Structure 1
Amino acid sequence: MRIELENLSKRFDDGSDVLKNLHFADEVHTLAIIGSSGSGKSTLLRLLGGLLTPSSGMIKIDGETIGKSESELVSYRQKIGFVFQQGGLFRHLSAFENVTLPLIKVHGYEKAKAEAQAEELLTRFGLASDMKKRPHELSGGQQQRVAIARAIAPKPKLLLLDEPTSALDPEYTNEVLDIVSELEKEGLDFVIVTHEMGFARHACEKAAFLYEGRLLEYEMSEQIFTNPQTNELKRFLSKILEWNVG
């Protein structure tokens, strides 16, 4: 998938400039967005997903500009899978219903087809005996597996994940990242905002480093981690990796 950012900026109503004139154009299969908290990572992901609109500049996916009209924006969102930090599940629905309802209401699936798709994915993700449970009855890792199942059920062209393991214990973190890695091997393109540097380095083809709303480095992931070019990235990695030794 080709992603292009042209002079992309985002300013919120309080006057804060979260993203500042981002330029980017490349074929992307798996991309990790890294950087300190407040650097603009989640905002960029929401712009890519059509959940926010740019203050200036534009985003193109495979040559098509996102959000030229409201109808085109709605159509685009239906082609994107999005996994939020806390899962974003409907609290009053079961795991099964959380997957089937969007398929029926948003994507126009027939009930039987939606139910078959939900059952297949939830079983695959180790949730066969938990389909009737509501989110509060599931562990954090299970909730995120349901969220991923919901996101990929309509077969999106791109999966966006916003720190999907930020609230999870290490055991559940590995469960979720293993699933994302499986999906990558099956050919699903994804962009992930993550603080899991091992995953960013080894499971993602490329990485982008944001600093104070600017894209300072973009390169093959291994290059980002072994040969950082800017002092900002060197400092970021030294702080992060200091606590990931041994």
Structure 2
Amino acid sequence: MMMKLGQMLRKEPVYDAGGRSGVWDGTFHGGHVGLTSGLIAGMQVATSIGWRDVAALQEGDKVLTFDEGMQPVRRITKRWTYTDQGRTPASLWPLHVPAGALGNRSAMTLLPEQPVMVESDAGEAMFGDPFTLIPALALEGYKGIEREHVRKPIEVVILHFDTEQVVFGNIGALFHCPAEEAVTIAGLMEDRYVPGYEVLSLTQARMFVDALIDEDAQDYAWMQEERRQRGREARHYAS
């Protein structure tokens, strides 16, 4: 029996270079690079009192989440990453995201392993869900998104909630944040599945982004044909 497309491209937990599985847990990766996930200071996050710099938030502040409305931040962790730019391999550089590429109103910078939620018809066709979480690194080459050379240390802010959440950033983009319990010692020692959001593996995420690029190309071709058709009709009525 032929497998359905959704079965062939079933979402798999992401595995990073360190062999960790599951969604990002907000833990410090170690090594000279430090964190490769989290929100960069300066990013605007939707809260109960409007858009605020993620670095200005405090524990207890309420943040607008994708699935559960306003939720209080239980803990905030701040770290500096890319403190030794000369030793950072290009594969771990952050990504520059132009305005509008992910629904964001202004340009922004993302860390390579930060899960990003993308809404698309391709997601619906491939996985049965229009909302897909992928590591930011997979977006390289999509709508002008490219790796950005690290010239100075970057402050990273990690928001922890009671459960995993997806939050709104830079007026339109969507980002995954970990649960508070994900960073406890017990949680780190136990190799068990914790129900929550699924993030595509990098391999699947790149396949998905290729589909997004094809989808955009088809939409562009359709719009161009529509313009040509309107031009032909206008010339016909004018003659």
Per the normalisation by structure 1, the TM-score is 0.22
Per the normalisation by structure 2, the TM-score is 0.23
